[in-house]
């Protein structure tokens, strides 16, 4: 009873706060397209980038704003990614008949040398001077970071720092092996006014930019089996001669119901993202790219994505006389929520 009352109080307060308070917390259309463009540019996915640029230009992002973001890509992902992304922007702008708003160019460079104002910018961005053993070990990288990235690039004032950080978080979240940099830029982003909800959205956008670029193709919405799934999944058939193989992509939080493969087992080859496999009465196993799961016939189980990650596996089975799948109850929010 108390719990119910509390829930309705919280909901009531959220409604009371209304649209304005909510609107400030989530990304607007321009921010979304900038995060999306940065993520695809970082991955080198020109097809995804192209659509993000079109959406962004339609939403009012200027050509010069996109140029700034895609130039900044090089500091985090290297010149090749940046050059290819800028080339895609050039093509898109041209195809649209050069009708898009050019927007402001950066103002004059600050006075003094870039190492000095870059150091100042870095301190302001992070909220404290940046030091560390690594920078003493390799002073050249410290100088380049300060003079070039935080000096030359961040002094270009036609894109504000919050937007630059939004793009940086999207880029870093789209790369692998840069967890500590991602973590520190999430802090920098929040220090520069990004809300928790906005950061969460950027991370979802970055995750999604990877899922839709999976090796074997994304496929179509899995409508045929939708009634046995919670959340949206996508199916790309790969083989059906002697062996059945399908690429299955789950959106964050999506999973199939408990089920049993009869007469013939199933093998899962994990391609991308993070997800779970669980057998009835056993703890769930975390799955990541490269993992293989052999599911014996007759074992009750489910598989699907983690709450905060897209997840893709290839499901393989051998068609056997009388083989079938017995679909059972959904994995409850309660069970899933505990993972």
**Residue (187 or 264) nearer to Mn ion, CB:** 264
In the bound state, the residue with its beta carbon closest to Mn ion is 266
How many residues touch Mn ion under the rule CB under 5 A: the total is 1
266 binds Mn ion (CB under 5 A): yes
Decide whether 236 or 266 has the Cβ nearer to Mn ion.
266
Give me Rg for the CA atoms of the chain: 24
Name the minimum Å distance from CB 259 to Mn ion: 6
Distance in Å, CB of 282 to Mn ion, minimum: 15
Taking CB under 5 A as the binding criterion, the range among 75-83, 96-104, 145-153, 261-269 that sits at the site for Mn ion is 261-269
In angstroms, what is the minimal distance from the CB of 239 to Mn ion?
17
Of the candidate spans 40-48, 171-179, 204-212, 265-273, the one that interacts with Mn ion by CB under 5 A turns out to be 265-273
CA 113: distance to chain centroid? Answer: 36
From 63-71, 167-175, 226-234, 264-272, give the range in contact with Mn ion by CB under 5 A. Answer: 264-272
Choose between 121 and 278: whose C-beta lies nearer to Mn ion.
278
Q: Which C-beta is closer to Mn ion: that of 178 or that of 293?
A: 293
Minimum separation from the CB atom of position 187 to Mn ion (A): 40
Nearer to Mn ion, 135 or 216 (CB): 216
Whichever of 57 and 248 has its CB closer to Mn ion, that residue is 248
CB nearer Mn ion, residue 114 or residue 266: 266
Work out how close the CB of 86 gets to Mn ion at its nearest, in angstroms, rounded to a whole number: 44
- Nearest 5°: the CA angle 109, 164, 178 is 120
CB of 272 to Mn ion, least distance (A): 18
88 binds Mn ion (CB under 5 A): no
Least separation in angstroms between CB 223 and Mn ion: 18
Binding footprint of Mn ion on the chain (CB under 5 A): 266
């Amino acid at each position: 009873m108390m719990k119910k009352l509390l829930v309705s109080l919280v909901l009531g307060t959220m409604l009371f706060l209304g649209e304005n308070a909510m609107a400030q917390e989530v990304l607007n259309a321009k921010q979304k397209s900038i995060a999306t463009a940065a993520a695809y540019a970082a991955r080198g996915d020109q097809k995804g980038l192209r659509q993000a640029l079109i959406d962004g230009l339609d939403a009012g992002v200027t050509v010069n704003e996109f140029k700034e973001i895609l130039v900044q890509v090089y500091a985090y992902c290297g010149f090749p990614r940046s050059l290819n992304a800028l080339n895609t922007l050039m093509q898109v702008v041209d195809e649209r008949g050069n009708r898009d708003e050019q927007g402001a160019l950066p103002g004059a460079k600050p006075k003094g040398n870039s190492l000095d104002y870059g150091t100042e910018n870095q301190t302001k961005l992070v909220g404290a001077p940046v030091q560390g053993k690594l920078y003493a070990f390799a002073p050249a990288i410290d100088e380049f970071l300060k003079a070039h990235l935080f000096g030359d690039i961040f002094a270009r004032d036609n894109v504000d720092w919050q937007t630059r950080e939004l793009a940086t978080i999207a880029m870093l979240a789209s790369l692998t092996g840069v967890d500590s940099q991602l973590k520190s830029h999430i802090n920098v982003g929040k220090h520069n006014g990004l809300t928790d909800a906005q950061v969460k959205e950027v991370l979802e956008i970055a995750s999604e930019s990877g899922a839709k670029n999976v090796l074997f193709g994304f496929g179509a919405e899995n409508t045929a089996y939708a009634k046995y799934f919670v959340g949206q999944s996508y199916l790309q058939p790969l083989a059906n001669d002697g062996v059945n193989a399908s690429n299955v992509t789950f959106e964050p939080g999506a999973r199939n119901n408990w089920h049993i493969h009869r007469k013939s087992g199933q093998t899962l080859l994990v391609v991308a993202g993070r997800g779970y496999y669980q057998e009835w009465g056993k703890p769930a196993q975390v799955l990541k790219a490269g993992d293989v799961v052999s599911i014996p016939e007759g074992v009750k189980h489910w598989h699907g994505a983690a709450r905060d990650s897209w997840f893709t596996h290839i499901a393989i089975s051998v068609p056997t006389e009388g083989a079938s799948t017995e679909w059972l109850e959904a994995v409850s929010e309660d069970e899933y929520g505990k993972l």
